Structure 1
Amino acid sequence: MKKLIWMLGFTLLVVQLSYGQNDQASLSGIFQTAAQGGVKLPFYNNPDRSLRIDKSVAITFADFKKMTTKSTPQGKTLSIKLNKAGKAKLIQMTQKNLQKPLVIVFEGEILSAPLVQETITSGNLQITGIDKKTVHKLIKSYKKDK
């Protein structure tokens, strides 16, 4: 069972998990049940799709140095630069979890769950395809936490 990151607010998770009823066949071999307990969270843009994840925090707003946004044809892109501590956590987390999902959670909903393809050493993250309302809520929460 892999640990993942969870908390109220912004969170990054590395997990092995089980999809809800709307599985994507291409991911079925990757996303497997890891947590007997844990918590079931919906995707923010598709509440019929969910993941069951174990709870443990890895990276939070406290690990952010800077957050910026830009518009793309697919929606908003949120760019995050981590501080020194956050960067070290991301390196360790991605190094130990290659080919596993990195689950990004905000306010109890999954924003994204990309697979870790390589160790991320830059300390930078991007979340794409988020709607404008969610981006504004993220920025507001980030500023409130700072």
Structure 2
Amino acid sequence: AAAAAASAASSVAPPSVGPSETSLQNSSDEDDESDSDSRSKGAGSAPLRSRSTAKRDISGMDDQEAKKLERKRLRNRQAATKCRQKKLARISELEQQVNQERDHAKQLDYNLDQLRKQIRSLEQAITMHAGTGCQMH
């Protein structure tokens, strides 16, 4: 299964980096930029903040708001983990399905070869029988 996953991963083209991902990479490299600068880069999207900026925002909150934000982040991490696990399970399921379909195709090819051999054998038998002078109707 690991080999199939590796071959499936190698046959899939890597996803292209979209504008929002590029903005995220740029914003993490350039923490000193103001919000207006990051808005102009993000083509109408909200400003992107790095983790260090997000953690600094907690210091300005009261305890209740900070706890609420931490709970929200925890739920988000859990949801992301669950989503990744579901994705891996689906990939595994699809790999199994691909393997089953390949096995089925091999079986069909084998059956086709056997039927072709049987046709040749029957044609030879008919030819030999016709050579004996028998008139078949």
Question: What TM-score, normalized by structure 1, do the two folds share?
Answer: 0.20
Higher helix share: 2
Looking at both structures, which has the greater relative contact order when contacts are Cα pairs under 8 Å and sequence separation is at least 6?
1
